[in-house]
Amino acid sequence: MSLPVFGIEKIFNLPYKKEDFKIVYHAPINMTVIPEAHKHDFFMLLVIGQGSGVHTIDFNDYKVSPRTVFFLAPGQAHHWQLSKNTSGYQVMFSAEFMLQKGPLWPFFTPASKPLLKLDQAQYDQLFQELQLMEKETTAAITQHRLQIILLLLQRWYAAIHPEEVAAAGNHLINRFLLLLEKHYAQYHEVAYYAAKLHVTASYLNQVCKKETGKTAGTYIRERLLLEAKRMLTLTDMDIKEIAFTLGFNDTSYFSRFFRKYTSLTPMDFRRQL
């Protein structure tokens, strides 16, 4: 059993075919709760204008405050608890809708910090762009407006998180992370990804360590642990099923792996949550 993957149309209960883009202004933000565990297949910007609360993204809690942008990539687990006066924009778009198909945007890369606090001038500029995009009816122009918004956010994000922008801009690391996202459940060894990238495992580890402070092996381990936590939290799959889905043929080895890096057994982690 795997988690169902929901598109934009499912979130809004739309009766027609797959949507690639949607922008909604919420005042207040009060989205319909989907009762079954699921993943999204789209990217999302949540732009908070006013309000407060907590937004939990992949088991980390982030404070909701005015002029904050949250970034969510496909597959991330999240939920929020917001005050009644919270308002802002929700922008959802598929990978196909984005003009830039190449390098990952730094705020959508695995393990990146998924929020950005804006000053008043930045927020005013972003809000103006969002209003223009909301009124636009031509898809091609909307795509270009989205590109402008992402570029502005990247500029502001780079000023706060230069190390993550540098990592996303590194061609080798970028290609590695894209490969990892596709194959983390099947291949756990650095050597596999290095071979696909036509470099040695040692060189791939060295570049990742220099640019990000983490080795390629650490990225693989963190990605496996993250997906394990998602499955333990969002599904009723037993430990054996989860281990097999993530490429572990031995359930006891998976349990040892999980406990080594979380200090909890998979079952204890599930009970705790």
Which domains does the chain possess? 5-162 (2.60.120.280), 170-272 (1.10.10.60)
The residue type found at 46 is L
Measured in degrees and rounded to the nearest 5, phi and psi for residue 98 equal -70, 140
> pLDDT tens-digit profile of 55-65?
988 888 999 99
54-72 per-residue burial string, b: 16 or more CB within 10 A, e: under 16: ebebbeeebebebbbbbbb
- Tokens 């290609």 belong to which residue? 175
Tell me the CB-side half-sphere exposure of residue 195, using CA atoms within 13 A.
5
Quick: pLDDT tens for 235-272: 889 999 999 999 999 999 999 999 999 999 999 999 98
What does R_g of the chain's alpha carbons equal in angstroms?
Answer: 19
Q: Tell me what the pLDDT averaged over the chain comes to.
A: 88
Average pLDDT over residues 207-233: 92
Dump pLDDT digits (tens) for 122-150. Answer: 999 999 999 999 999 999 999 999 999 99
- Whole-angstrom Cα distance, residue 149 to residue 137? 17
116 vs 59, more confident? 116
Q: Which of 184, 186, 118, 192 is nearest to 157 (CA)?
A: 118
Looking at the predicted structure, is the pLDDT value of residue 6 above 90? no
* pLDDT attached to residue 57: 87
Identity of the residue numbered 139: A
Task: Please determine, for residue 7, whether its predicted confidence score (pLDDT) is greater than 90.
Answer: no
